[in-house]
Every structure is written in C-alpha cells, then in structure tokens.
Amino acid sequence: MLRYSPPPFRVGPALGALALALAGLFSLWIQARLQSVPALSLADLSGGAFAGYVRVHGVLPEPPRWEPEGPRLRFHLSDGTGELWVLADGSVAATLARANRIPRAGDGVTVEGRLREDRDPPALEIVHAEALRIERPEPLPLSIGDLPSAPVGARVQITGQIRSVRRPYEGLTLIRLQDETGSIDVAWYEALVGTRAELPLGAGLRITGALTLYREVPQVALDDPEGWARIPWTPTPQPISRAQERPDGAWVGVEGILEERSDTRWTLADETGSLEVRLSRELRAALPATPPLGARVQVWGRVRWRTGTPALYPELSIDIRWEPPVATPTPVPRPTASPTPTRSPTPTPRPRPSATATPFPLSALATLAPGASVTVAGTVAELQGFSAGWALILEQEGHRLRVFIPSEQMAGVPGREGIYPGARIRATGVLTLYRGELELLPRSGRAILVEKGVRPDAPPRAIGSLGPADQNATVRIAGQVVERTRFSAGIRLVVRDESGALPVILWENVAALIPEPLQEPGANVEIIGRVRLYRGELQVIPTVPWEVRSR
C-alpha cells in the first residue's frame, strides 16, 4: 500500500517570498506617503465624486462649537463655493485645546481629514492634530458706527461702554456696547471664552472678535478668551452749543452748571448756552441721589428735537455724573457806624471730589452716585490679579473701596513697584458699580500716586520643601530659570534650586512688565507668589510683576 509523503518544507524560499511581499507593501506605503493629499474646493465635495483623505481651505463664518465633556470640536467652514462641517473628537480635540489651536470666527483654516459620508450632511473628520493650520488675520480697529460697512466674518476690534448685560440662555451672554457712533451686541460664548466675568454697567470694554449676523442684525462674536479687556471709559463732554447742532437721535455728552431743576426736567448751562435735560420717571427713581443747584453736572444721552428745540434724554443712572458745588464763605460786610460790627458766619466747606482737592473720605462715598469723579486715598488692604488688570482694596478708618487698574494703565503708574499690601495710595477716577458696590476706575496710570510704597516680601522656602499642604500660601523662592515656554495665557518658567525644580506661571499681563532677561534660561531670580496645586502639579504664581526680581 502506497502512502503519501508531503514534499519537504524549504525554509529559504518561504522567507524569500515573505520578504518580497513585505518589500512590496513597504513600496506601496512609500508611494502613498509621497503622493500629495488632494486639495479640493468645498464645491468639489458636494457632488460625492471624492472620498477618502482630502485637504480643504476656508474661513470660519461663525464661532466653533466646543463640548468639553467629550471633548468634541465642531466648526463650519466656507470658501465661497460651498460649506462643510469639520469635526475633531477625543484625543485630537483635547490636543488642539491644550495647544490653544481651536480656530475662531474669522480665521482662515487649512485642514486635512477623512470625509465622513455616513453623516448627514457629510463632514470632514480630523484624524491628527497636526492636520489643522490656522491663519488669524489682524483685527480691523473700527468705531461701532462703522461696523455695517465691514464684511461679515471680518475680525474687528471695538471699544465701548457697557450698557446692558443679559443671558438669554445658559452658555451665552449678550453685552450691549455703545460708543459715540452707535451700539451693538457682543455675543460672549462661555464654552469658548469661559464664564462671564464681572462686567459692571458703565465700565469700558475692548472686544476683538468676528462680525456676524443674527437674524440679519450685526453683532460681534467673542469666542477667544484673550479677546476682551476692561478699560477706563471717560469720554469728553462737548460744549452745549455743539450738542445743540447734533441731529435727532445722536448720542452726546455735555457738562454745565445745574441752574434749574424739577422732578423730571433739569437745565444745564455753560459759557456757550443752555440745554434742557429730560429724565424719565424710571430713571429719576433709579438715581441714588440728586445733584444740588449749582453743581457741575455731566450728562450723556440722546438728542431729541421737539417743536424745534433740542433736549437731552439720558437712559441710565450711569449717564449722569456730578460734583457738588464748592462752598464759599459768605462775604464779610464792611464795618458800619454801629458800635459792634458783625460778621456773617463762614460755612464749613464740604469736600469736593476733584484731582486737586483733599481726598474724599471713604466713609462719605455713599453720598456720591456712580459716574462721579473723585479723589480717594487709603492703605492697600488686598491686592488681586486678573487677566484684565489688578484690583486694590483701599482701606481708610474701617471703610473700604475697590480700585481697578487695567493692565495697560499699570505700565504708566509712577512708582508702581511699591503697590503692595500695606502701601498708601492716592487715586483719581470715576465711580462705577461692581457687584452692587462702588468701584473706582482711575482716569489713567498717572492718576494713581504711590505715597508710601512697600517692597514685596514673604517667608523664604526651598523649592523641595513645598508640598500640597502649602497650597494658597504666599512664599519666596530663589533659583535659576532652566526652562521657558509660552502658552495661550502667558509664560511658564521652570526654576531650580539645590533642592528641586518647580514651575512658575507668569500670566500675560504680569509677564509683559517683567524685564525679558529675568525670564530667560540662566537668569538667577527671586520670586514671590502663591502656591497652587493644578492637576497634581505644584506651581508658584506671582500676582504682580515686581514679585519677580534679580538676585
């Protein structure tokens, strides 16, 4: 009986065949890598003729949509020939967020990805973060009245006064900004910018965002956490004669002496003429106090022509500011033949809030309304840092007042290195409301005088001795900068001493006022800051730039 015997297995030819197959696959992979990704217009994708991995270019006509729970990023892309949704999920979206590479409205974007025809409508999925490139144009500085002439989607920069703040639904805040040329809504997207900061009525705001349309009405979309800043808002009033020449509906401010006053009608006069100011009953009821006759009053409002005569109509209590009249002694009569000449009593002058007057007592601030100009003085009880500037809590005989100094103003404060808890400060500015309490906004950096400065200090600590139990403590460390990297909100330094190394976070407004040599690797520095535990990492964060110094 014959048995079948299989032929012997030859290892050499088998390995050769496997090597040949692998070489073929490698060749195909090289060819695929060398083959350029097709760059298509969005119109090319609409017919379904293309599939697979493609590259497109366009502009974001509206803010992106960010879902941190996923995380998930979605944005709309337009190139004039068509529109397309672009998606990024999971680790890709997280990488883009960490690198601050989320595109904003008005940005030009070039992106590669995989076409997802299983979605309705079809979308492009980003499969790796390096496939997204962003071109951010410089914003156009415009007055609000010029915005209708700008193209929809353009990045613009505007400044104005906050007139109203409302939240139509969770995640969106609408801020009404107004300047002398007009008003517009700013849409604050909380998922992209962060929770809305305290924005008191009457404060100034600078916004950088994209001009968009909502139901055919222009608005500015704020979708960048670095696209806003609080600024002083101190417009200059016009002579009354010039205000009388403005057309119906124009927004204008005037300044004059209050000569007549009834419940809802006032008369202001300056050297050029007089003007009637009309107050609604709602506005009259909202005023915390009424200026006395003879007071110097500033009023902003809309000019309305009725029966050929202009009148000024303010809208909010912040549109009316005044200074009490200066009390003057009653003239002394000449002596007469009577044996006992008499003198009229001299009244006690009242404090007058002005830059040259004695500082107005903090205990009497309740007698002033928002919008009043005032000079105050006190001791710095607290110093707080924000992305838009710094807040000082001034204290005087148990009474307190918050003074907000925007970042751009701090650079102009003489002797700013002495601003620290315990320092004595004098400041001149305009009163506004912050969380229902009075706050002072200085007119400029030079309106702040450091009468007695304090050098920052804190207990010295070795870097290696710091631990989670030190969170929120203020410490002083010394060492050498060994690493410097920039991130979306500022600078990250790594400082090392003999006991260890630690990150130091310099927010953007703090880093801007620190000399560059102190931020470079190799610099020997002494740093005071608050200890923070962030995602398991200990950090030291200075509040003011002068907490970083050479050693």
pLDDT one-digit tens code per residue, 26-63: 655 454 444 567 777 777 776 555 567 888 888 888 88
The arithmetic mean of pLDDT across residues 380-405, rounded, is: 89
Q: How far apart are CA 479 and CA 484, in angstroms?
A: 14
CB atoms within 10 A of CB 190: 14
Q: How far apart are CA 465 and CA 445, in angstroms?
A: 39
| Pairwise pLDDT comparison (347 vs 389), residue with the higher score | 389
Least confident of 71-85, 96-110, 127-141, 342-356: 342-356
* Confidence at 321, pLDDT banded by 50, 70, 90: confident
What architecture (CATH level 2) is domain 463-550? Answer: Beta Barrel (2.40)
Mean pLDDT of all residues belonging to the chain: 83
The arithmetic mean of pLDDT across residues 344-354, rounded, is: 42
Token reading at 181: 């040329």
| Pairwise pLDDT comparison (1 vs 104), residue with the higher score | 104
The arithmetic mean of pLDDT across residues 449-464, rounded, is: 93
The confidence score (pLDDT) of residue 34 equals 47
Which SS3 state, helix, strand or coil, does residue 300 take?
Answer: strand
Residue 219 has pLDDT above 70, yes or no: yes
The confidence score (pLDDT) of residue 26 equals 60
Token reading at 466: 């710091």
Identify the CATH number of the domain defined by range 240-323: 2.40.50.200
| Pairwise pLDDT comparison (39 vs 99), residue with the higher score | 99
Portion of the chain with pLDDT greater than 70, in percent = 85
pLDDT digits (tens, 9 = 90+) for 268-281: 999 899 999 999 98
Residues 6+ apart with CB under 8 A from 86: 74, 75, 76, 77, 109, 111, 113, 123, 124, 125, 126
pLDDT digits (tens, 9 = 90+) for 130-173: 889 988 888 889 999 899 888 888 889 999 999 989 888 888 89
Torsions phi, psi of 6, nearest 5? -65, 150
The confidence score (pLDDT) of residue 154 equals 85
| CATH fold group of domain 363-452 | OB fold (Dihydrolipoamide Acetyltransferase, E2P) (2.40.50)
* Confidence at 355, pLDDT banded by 50, 70, 90: very low
Least confident of 73-82, 350-359, 408-417, 508-517: 350-359
The confidence score (pLDDT) of residue 114 equals 87
Q: DSSP code of 241?
A: H
The arithmetic mean of pLDDT across residues 395-406, rounded, is: 91
Check for a shared fold between 363-452 and 463-550: yes
- Residue-range domain boundaries for the chain: 42-135, 140-231, 240-323, 363-452, 463-550
pLDDT digits (tens, 9 = 90+) for 469-514: 998 899 999 999 999 998 767 899 999 999 999 999 998 889 989 9
Identify the CATH number of the domain defined by range 140-231: 2.40.50.140
| Pairwise pLDDT comparison (381 vs 197), residue with the higher score | 381
Q: Which CATH superfamily is domain 42-135 in?
A: Nucleic acid-binding proteins (2.40.50.140)
Residue 328 has pLDDT above 60, yes or no: no
